């Protein structure tokens, strides 16, 4: 009997889905939910600039984040080919191509749904989305004139191998821009509420972990990145985060009005949004950073 129980336990362990499988399943089934968050299908938070973006227009702030990242890539009016690491439905790609006539962008995602639907939304030969993992892209060395990662490297904990692969495929002197949430301290040093919030965020959004900002900068320096600039932009991001409770309430009311049940992935997405709001309030433990570096 003990052996049977042991075999059953081991079988369950082997059947447990990997983080990568959880990410694919989450985005394959919950991507459509983001239409309620953003009509442009931006799958990230926004960037607020007083007198330029409106506190009440979420998509304006979300697209401003795209603008800020592209500005730091120093695109200008030049013929360049950049890569979007974890591109979602390609909203940042579409924004970049629409505002930079000579720019080409290749997006990477491990979600087959996002590849199919995202490419349908791209009506230009200057943009494409590929089904590839940003930790192992299969591109040649020195392939791209720049790289961006908007709230995507968190799915790997902003891992060293993801940073190393990005460095490999970038051309010399090209830029890499990351916009994402990071921890400021190790998990063990967080208070109980911060630990609960952090665990809830990772579980809900299938995040391996958030990168520790100090470790990430150290990794980038050791890999060879130079001119590394780090900005904590939580105050720019916070206004869009404050849209979360209203978006959650509106989404649930819409489902109830249509007498539709919430999918498990939608429930996880809503929980993740709630925990994201809580992390933004815990400034001693978390921050939202814009990192710019050169190869």
Answer whether residue 22 is part of any domain: yes
Q: Domain holding 157: CATH number?
A: 3.40.50.150
Answer whether residue 10 is part of any domain: no
Residue 218 and residue 39 in contact, taking contact as beta carbons nearer than 8 Å: no
Answer whether residue 7 is part of any domain: no
Angle of helix 213-223 relative to helix 160-169, nearest 10 degrees, comes to 40
Distance CA 211, CA 221 (A): 15
Mean pLDDT by 10 residues, the chain (295 residues): 42 52 72 80 96 96 98 92 97 97 97 94 94 97 98 95 98 98 96 95 90 98 98 96 87 82 79 88 95 98
| Domain hosting residue 216, numbered range | 18-294
Distance CA 143, CA 81 (A): 8
Answer whether residue 11 is part of any domain: no
Angle at CA 40, nearest 5°, toward 36 and 45? Answer: 75
Task: Pinpoint the alpha helices (H) of the chain.
Answer: 2-15, 19-30, 34-37, 58-72, 91-99, 112-121, 160-169, 192-204, 213-223, 234-241, 244-257, 264-281
Answer whether residue 276 is part of any domain: yes
Distance CA 256, CA 252 (A): 6
pLDDT at 259 (0 to 100): 83
Domain count along the chain: 1
Residues in the chain: 295
Answer whether residue 73 is part of any domain: yes
pLDDT at 18 (0 to 100): 63
Answer whether residue 199 is part of any domain: yes
Answer whether residue 148 is part of any domain: yes
pLDDT at 293 (0 to 100): 98
9 Cβ contact partners less than 8 Å away, ≥ 6 residues apart: none
């Amino acid at each position: 009997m003990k052996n049977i129980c042991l075999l059953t336990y081991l079988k369950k362990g082997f059947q447990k889905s990997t983080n990568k499988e959880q990410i694919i399943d989450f985005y394959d089934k919950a991507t459509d939910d983001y239409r309620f968050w953003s009509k442009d299908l931006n799958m990230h938070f926004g960037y607020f600039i007083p007198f330029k973006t409106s506190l009440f227009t979420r998509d304006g702030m979300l697209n401003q984040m795209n603008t800020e990242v592209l500005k730091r890539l120093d695109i200008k009016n030049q013929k360049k080919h950049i890569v979007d690491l974890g591109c979602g439905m390609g909203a940042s790609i579409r924004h970049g191509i629409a505002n930079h006539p000579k720019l080409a962008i290749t997006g990477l995602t491990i979600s087959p749904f996002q590849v199919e639907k995202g490419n349908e939304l791209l009506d230009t030969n200057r943009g494409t989305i590929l089904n590839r993992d940003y930790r192992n892209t299969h591109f040649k060395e020195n392939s791209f004139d720049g790289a961006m990662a908007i709230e995507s490297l968190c799915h790997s904990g902003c891992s060293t191998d993801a940073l190393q692969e990005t460095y490999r495929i970038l051309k010399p002197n090209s830029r890499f821009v990351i916009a994402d949430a990071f921890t400021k301290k190790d998990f063990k040093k967080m208070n109980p509420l911060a630990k609960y919030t952090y665990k809830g965020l990772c579980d809900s959004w299938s995040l391996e972990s958030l990168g520790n900002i100090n470790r990430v900068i150290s990794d980038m320096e050791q890999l060879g990145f130079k001119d590394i600039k780090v900005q904590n932009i939580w105050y720019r991001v916070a206004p869009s985060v404050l849209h979360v409770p209203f978006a959650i309430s509106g989404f649930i009311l819409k489902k109830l009005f249509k007498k539709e049940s919430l999918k498990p992935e939608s429930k996880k997405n809503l929980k993740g949004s709630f925990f994201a709001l809580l992390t933004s309030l815990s400034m001693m433990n978390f921050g939202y950073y814009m990192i710019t570096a050169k190869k």
